[in-house]
């Protein structure tokens, strides 16, 4: 039964993938035949996610490397898995609960909610896996990992020890002083009420406003404000009793701690060190703040003076830190203005006292609520309006003419009616605003207590490893086993260095429920060092107990201990308790839900003791930190965690450190750098020796694909339409290192056609008996026919090119080399050349050609398989009974020694001759079907041999009837000049003399132009002296060949002239 005309991808893909999986083709170590291992860790997609173009690209490249190594016999593991995507997953589940009319997360409670999340994970966690399978990804799915596996509450089937690994690392790092708790500014998402990472913040330029306000100097003081232009000429001089401030966020004025100017700014020199008044809030409690100097303010921007709100702006935070300015928090977790704490009057007084030099702890400052009573509880944007209105009403806004262009759309036409009226200066200008990428809310920088990794302490080895790796790479001496890491392309190593050299502490706590809960427990502070029992008997009476409770436990903060489980942490608390006076030294540690509960339980316990005097009933309540760890903290452990660490599994021993990480440039900071730091900190080894960083897949116009733009290409739809192979080949062919790829469907269609091409070449072979009784031996054919010798050499050439390209991660070079070979060499020439042999040859010729063609097609399938796995596997199965599937076929190792130089030269001559004849015919409008005679006036020995051996092919492909020698050419000939030969097509009657003349002249003029350049070089003695010898030789040969060809054309032109 003849083959179909095209490959039915939709029908075959699933069948083939199932066959691979069923045969265990992808399991770790499958097809291994040598000791070397090759391991790639998949960048874990979100468990909530679905396949987008970036995944398709990323995983195609990984699959190519994996399949290539597996076929070469490496002990190969492609480790798949997903991460739990804390915020995204929690959001999806909450939305779903709301949609189904269920109670919300908080009503439901943590445990119940997490059950729902696990349920949901069970239902849809497999989506991305199935999508990766459709792409053809040859991961070892039996090892599929998940960053939450083994967490408390994980259902059956979600075991595994990733959770243990994460917790162990936290505890170890904590014990080594690498993790600490602190109050720092973080990105706060008011919708999800959690800290989020920089990665989850999108800075978007939006139309915004900049308000200009006057901060009056304390006590009505005045100074002379002088403004000069760049030449030093005074352009403004006036007495002022205020300093002018510009802000895009007026509501944060309430928390200002200072006004800063640049030390070099002469305009404000007279008032530096003085106090000014924040122009908002009740008049009687206006807060005064100092005017300070700092390098941060840009004298050229706005007024040059910057208000400093340390608790709500990242730059201000730095200024406040440097200058000891208190950082007053204004908002609650929903970004509403605070309602807690003492009345405003008290708080303002406290703040003023601090300004006057009063000591205050971080916690005490945080307790101060500087929101005026009437603004408390307002949403931040509502509060902004109110603040603006109040300041404006008080005439403390900076004013300008109503036609000031800075007002933007609100400005009147210049000179229009009312243009000279004064209005508040509110500049309309684009501002960069941070948005939560999930919540789409404006992110609020917020001063909160969080857990941090002290990255400064672990960054060194991560920097060193890549510095060494890049140095080796540059020196061309890269060694995969040397324990260093290179980043390709080099540019991305710069990004890595830049980020790590300026690294900030890493905030790893998230105020979420879905994630690894931080293994830290808190207890009320029992430090009794300041406490003296009245009798000095080291035992407490009731009065002392009460005092200790009231003054100590409750007033003071909490203490915490870190351990992997409650038992261990209990022991740690008990060690501390043991130092307390009796009866407290033997309190039983119990777990409660939080601090409030702890205070209650402790009070109850003491009250109970009061009555019972039974010390065994005394309990000491502790509560666990409710926060979870940043998802990146767990995915930072991906390389060791997926291999079973902290257990010493055989996989860990075998595959770690892994080999290559393939990932997008957008997560170099967030993931690559962190994996480097974490692996080095935890197991003191690099996680991989090579990081290949690829760019973004954009739409065909170069726009980033986004749902809101509607320009998203869905890889699954593309696979449906064109087949996975076409999508994969397209992505591969466009994967030039470090460049974005702009994807268009016409390109994919083009590569789908490529698949059809190889399909039909195979179909031709099959129809001509090439595979009849074909029993592949793996032996390289040693044919006698020139054309067969030639194609064997071409196969060897492309094999080297492909291996070289893949070894250098030049995926596009590999794809393009294969495309050019399969289509341009095999289909365009070899198949055509083979026709006379297969159809009219001797039995020996037929047999030899069949054997060669079978081998050639096998090689095409093998070499193409890593890029186009499906169609190649299908053809492999169609054409013969094989010992192994193609996915496990042996990758060839033959080299260019298979090239027969003579055959190569001869076939290139034949091809050139055919092309010349075809070109001449087409230009002379000879009907394509017409068979014509050909003459030659000269033909060297090589040419004669070549003609003799390939006559049938040339005649067939160039539609030539005969070849005869001619001493003189008849009138009306078309001339064809090739190396060592001058041919002519006698076309009297058909030929247009003028056209032939034009054709020859055009060719000749191009030749002459080339010759001029070549000869110019050769005549230059410095060229001959300084250029490499082979370049000079090459130039000479080329010049000679061109001279010869030009001579032939001139003869032809003379002949034409006689004719005319």
Partner RNA sequence: GGGCGGUUAGCUCAGCGGUAGAGCACUACGUUGACAUCGUAGGGGUCACUGGUUCGAUCCCAGUACCGCCCA
Q: What single DSSP character describes residue 713?
A: P
Residue 161: both structure tokens together: 């020890």
**Cβ proximity to RNA, 46 vs 756, nearer residue:** 756
Pairwise CA distance, residues 342 & 367, whole Å:
8
Residue 133: both structure tokens together: 């399978």
Q: Is 21 left (phi over 0), alpha (psi -120 to 50) or beta?
A: alpha
Torsions phi, psi for 345 (to 5 deg): -55, -45
Pairwise CA distance, residues 975 & 989, whole Å:
15
Report in angstroms how near the CB of residue 481 gets to RNA at its nearest. Answer: 27
Report in angstroms how near the CB of residue 909 gets to RNA at its nearest. Answer: 14
**Cβ proximity to RNA, 299 vs 552, nearer residue:** 299
Pairwise CA distance, residues 401 & 599, whole Å:
61
**Cβ proximity to RNA, 883 vs 1002, nearer residue:** 1002
Strands 201-216 and 242-247: antiparallel
**511 in Cβ contact with 187 (< 8 Å):** no
Pairwise CA distance, residues 567 & 263, whole Å:
56
Residue length of the chain: 1060
User: Comparing C-alpha atoms, which of 522, 517, 520, 519 is closest to residue 622?
Assistant: 522
Report in angstroms how near the CB of residue 1053 gets to RNA at its nearest. Answer: 18
Report in angstroms how near the CB of residue 300 gets to RNA at its nearest. Answer: 9
Report in angstroms how near the CB of residue 733 gets to RNA at its nearest. Answer: 8
Dihedral sign, CA of 340, 346, 351, 353? negative
Torsions phi, psi for 217 (to 5 deg): -70, 145
**Cβ proximity to RNA, 54 vs 657, nearer residue:** 54
**290 in Cβ contact with 313 (< 8 Å):** no
**Cβ proximity to RNA, 120 vs 665, nearer residue:** 665
Torsions phi, psi for 388 (to 5 deg): -60, -45
Report in angstroms how near the CB of residue 180 gets to RNA at its nearest. Answer: 22
**Cβ proximity to RNA, 348 vs 831, nearer residue:** 831
User: Comparing C-alpha atoms, which of 951, 967, 960, 947 is closest to residue 921?
Assistant: 960
Is there a binding annotation on residue 707? yes
Q: Which residues pair with 201 in a beta bridge?
A: 436
Strands 658-664 and 688-694: parallel
Strands 520-524 and 619-624: antiparallel
Output the 3-class SS for 797-827.
Answer: HHHHHHHHHHHCCCHHHHHHHHHHHHHHHHH
Report in angstroms how near the CB of residue 777 gets to RNA at its nearest. Answer: 25
In 72-161, where does DSSP find H-type helix?
86-99, 105-108, 110-124, 127-135
Pairwise CA distance, residues 173 & 167, whole Å:
10
**769 in Cβ contact with 98 (< 8 Å):** no
**Cβ proximity to RNA, 275 vs 308, nearer residue:** 308
**Cβ proximity to RNA, 458 vs 733, nearer residue:** 733
Report in angstroms how near the CB of residue 929 gets to RNA at its nearest. Answer: 6
**Interface with RNA (CB under 7 A):** 5-6, 198, 203, 314-315, 432, 491, 494, 498, 700-702, 704, 734, 736-737, 739-742, 744, 746-747, 750, 752-753, 755-757, 760-761, 763-764, 767-768, 812-813, 816, 819-820, 823-824, 827-828, 831-832, 835, 839, 915, 918-919, 922-923, 927-929, 1002, 1010, 1017, 1020, 1022-1023, 1026-1028, 1031, 1035, 1038
In 280-361, where does DSSP find H-type helix?
314-323, 344-355
Report in angstroms how near the CB of residue 673 gets to RNA at its nearest. Answer: 13
Pairwise CA distance, residues 669 & 664, whole Å:
11
Residue 660: both structure tokens together: 């290559």
**487 in Cβ contact with 466 (< 8 Å):** yes
Could you give the C-alpha distances from 160 to 517, 643, 644, 702, 788, in angstroms and in order?
17, 10, 8, 42, 56
**914 in Cβ contact with 934 (< 8 Å):** no
Q: Which residues pair with 77 in a beta bridge?
A: 39
**Cβ proximity to RNA, 550 vs 1005, nearer residue:** 1005
**Cβ proximity to RNA, 494 vs 883, nearer residue:** 494
Report in angstroms how near the CB of residue 301 gets to RNA at its nearest. Answer: 9
User: Comparing C-alpha atoms, which of 476, 458, 811, 815 is closest to residue 662?
Assistant: 811
Neighbours of 691 (CB within 10 A): 23
**442 in Cβ contact with 384 (< 8 Å):** no
Report in angstroms how near the CB of residue 1038 gets to RNA at its nearest. Answer: 6
**Cβ proximity to RNA, 519 vs 723, nearer residue:** 723
CA count, 13 A, side-chain hemisphere, 371: 27
Report in angstroms how near the CB of residue 1040 gets to RNA at its nearest. Answer: 12
Element containing residue 1002 per DSSP (H, E): helix 993-1019
**Cβ proximity to RNA, 741 vs 982, nearer residue:** 741
Report in angstroms how near the CB of residue 186 gets to RNA at its nearest. Answer: 12
**Cβ proximity to RNA, 102 vs 816, nearer residue:** 816
**684 in Cβ contact with 727 (< 8 Å):** no
Report in angstroms how near the CB of residue 162 gets to RNA at its nearest. Answer: 28
Strands 288-293 and 258-261: parallel
Torsions phi, psi for 95 (to 5 deg): -65, -40
Report in angstroms how near the CB of residue 125 gets to RNA at its nearest. Answer: 29
**Cβ proximity to RNA, 277 vs 996, nearer residue:** 996
**Cβ proximity to RNA, 22 vs 1022, nearer residue:** 1022
Question: Residue ranges for the binding site?
Answer: 707
Question: Residue ranges for the binding site for ATP?
Answer: 707
């Amino acid at each position: 039964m003849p083959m179909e005309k095209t490959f039915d991808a939709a029908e075959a893909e699933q069948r083939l993938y199932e066959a691979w999986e069923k045969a265990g083709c992808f399991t770790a170590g499958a097809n291994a035949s040598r000791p070397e291992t090759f391991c790639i860790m998949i960048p874990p997609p979100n468990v909530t996610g679905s396949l987008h173009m970036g995944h398709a690209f990323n995983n195609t490249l990984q699959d190519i490397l994996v399949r290539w190594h597996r076929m070469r016999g490496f002990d190969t593991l492609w480790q798949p898995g997903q991460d739990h995507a804390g915020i995204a997953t929690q959001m999806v589940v909450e939305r779903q609960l709301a949609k189904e009319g269920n109670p919300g997360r908080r009503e439901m409670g943590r445990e119940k909610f997490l059950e729902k999340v696990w349920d949901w994970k069970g239902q849809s966690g497999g989506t991305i896996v199935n999508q990766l399978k459709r792409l053809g990804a040859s991961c070892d799915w039996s090892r599929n990992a998940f960053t939450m596996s083994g967490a408390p509450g994980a259902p059956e089937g979600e075991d595994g020890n990733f959770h243990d690994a994460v917790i162990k690392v936290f505890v170890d790092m904590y014990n080594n002083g690498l993790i600490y708790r602190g109050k720092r500014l973080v990105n706060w998402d008011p919708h999800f009420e959690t800290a989020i990472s920089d990665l989850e913040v999108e800075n978007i330029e939006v139309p915004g406003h900049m308000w200009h306000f006057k901060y009056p100097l304390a006590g009505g003081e005045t100074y002379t404000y002088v403004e000069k232009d760049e030449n030093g000429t005074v352009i403004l001089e006036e007495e002022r009793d205020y300093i002018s401030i510009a802000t895009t966020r007026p509501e944060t004025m309430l928390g200002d701690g200072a006004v800063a100017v640049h030390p070099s700014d002469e305009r404000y020199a007279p008032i530096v060190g003085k106090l000014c008044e924040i122009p908002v809030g009740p008049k009687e409690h206006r807060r005064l703040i100092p005017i300070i100097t700092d390098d941060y303010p840009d004298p050229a921007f706005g007024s040059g003076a910057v208000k400093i709100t340390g608790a709500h702006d990242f730059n201000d935070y730095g200024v406040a830190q440097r200058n000891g300015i208190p950082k007053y928090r204004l908002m609650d977790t929903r970004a509403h203005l605070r309602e807690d704490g003492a009345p405003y009057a008290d708080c303002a007084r406290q703040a003023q006292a601090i300004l006057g030099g009063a000591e205050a702890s971080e916690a005490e400052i945080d307790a101060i609520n500087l929101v005026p009573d009437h603004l408390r509880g307002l949403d931040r944007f509502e509060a902004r309006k109110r603040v603006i209105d109040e300041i404006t009403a008080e005439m403390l806004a900076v004013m300008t003419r109503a036609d000031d262009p800075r007002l933007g759309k609100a400005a009147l036409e210049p000179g229009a009616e009312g243009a000279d009226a004064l209005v508040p200066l509110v500049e309309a200008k684009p501002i960069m605003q941070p948005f939560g990428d999930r919540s789409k809310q404006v992110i609020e920088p917020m001063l909160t207590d969080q857990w941090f990794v002290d990255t400064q302490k672990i960054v060194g080895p991560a920097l060193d490893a890549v510095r060494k790796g890049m140095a080796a790479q540059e020196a061309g001496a890269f060694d995969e086993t040397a324990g260093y890491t290179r980043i390709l392309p080099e540019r991305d190593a710069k990004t890595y260095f830049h980020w790590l050299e300026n690294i900030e502490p890493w905030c790893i706590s998230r105020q979420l429920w879905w994630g690894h809960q931080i293994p830290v427990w808190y207890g009320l502070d029992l430090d009794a060092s300041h406490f003296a029992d009245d009798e000095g008997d080291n035992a407490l009476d009731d009065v002392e107990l009460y005092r200790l409770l009231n003054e100590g436990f409750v007033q003071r903060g909490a203490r915490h201990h870190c351990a992997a489980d409650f038992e261990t942490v209990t022991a740690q608390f008990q060690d501390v308790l043991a130092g307390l006076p009796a009866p407290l030294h033997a309190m039983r540690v119990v777990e409660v839900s939080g601090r409030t509960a702890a205070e209650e339980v402790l009070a109850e316990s003491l009250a109970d003791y009061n009555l019972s005097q039974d010390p065994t009933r005394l309990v000491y309540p502790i509560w666990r930190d409710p926060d979870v760890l940043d998802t990146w903290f767990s995915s930072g452990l991906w390389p060791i965690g997926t291999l079973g660490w902290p257990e010493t599994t055989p996989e860990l021993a075998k595959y770690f450190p892994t080999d290559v990480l393939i990932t997008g440039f957008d997560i170099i900071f967030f993931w690559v750098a962190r994996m480097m730091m974490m692996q080095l900190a935890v197991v003191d080894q690099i996680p991989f020796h090579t990081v290949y960083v690829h760019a973004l897949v954009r739409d065909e116009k170069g726009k980033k694909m986004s749902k809101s733009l509607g320009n998203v290409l869905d890889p699954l739809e593309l696979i449906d339409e064109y087949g996975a192979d076409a999508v994969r080949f397209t992505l591969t062919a466009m994967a030039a290192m470090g460049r974005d790829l702009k994807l268009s469907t016409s390109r994919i269609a083009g590569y789908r056609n490529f698949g059809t091409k190889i399909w039909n070449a195979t179909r031709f072979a099959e129809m001509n008996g090439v595979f009849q009784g074909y029993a592949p031996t793996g032996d390289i054919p040693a044919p006698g026919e020139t054309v067969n010798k030639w194609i064997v050499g071409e196969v060897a050439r492309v094999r080297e090119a492909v291996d070289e390209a893949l070894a250098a991660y030049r995926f596009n070079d590999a794809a393009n080399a294969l495309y050019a070979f399969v289509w341009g060499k095999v289909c365009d020439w070899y198949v055509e050349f083979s026709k006379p042999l297969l159809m009219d040859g001797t039995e020996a010729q037929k047999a030899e050609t069949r054997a060669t063609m079978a081998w050639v097609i096998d090689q095409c399938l093998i070499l193409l398989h890593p890029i186009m796995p499906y169609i190649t596997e299908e053809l492999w199965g169609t054409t013969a009974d094989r010992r192994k599937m193609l996915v496990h076929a042996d990758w060839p190792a033959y080299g260019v020694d298979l090239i027969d130089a003579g055959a190569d030269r001869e076939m290139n001559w034949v091809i050139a001759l055919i092309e010349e004849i075809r070109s001449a015919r087409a230009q002379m409008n000879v009907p394509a079907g017409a068979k014509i005679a050909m003459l030659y006036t000269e033909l060297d020995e090589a040419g004669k041999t070549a003609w003799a051996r390939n006559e049938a092919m040339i005649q067939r492909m160039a539609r030539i009837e005969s070849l005869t020698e001619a001493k003189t050419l008849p009138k009306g000939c078309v001339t064809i000049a090739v190396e060592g030969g001058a041919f002519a097509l006698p076309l009297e009657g058909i030929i247009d003399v003028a056209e032939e003349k034009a054709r020859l002249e055009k060719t000749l003029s191009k030749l002459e132009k080339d010759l001029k350049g070549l000869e110019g070089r050769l005549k230059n003695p410095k060229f001959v002296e300084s250029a490499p010898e082979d370049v000079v030789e090459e130039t000479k040969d080329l010049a000679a060949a061109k001279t010869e060809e030009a001579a032939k054309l001139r003869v032809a032109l003379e002949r034409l002239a006689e004719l005319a």
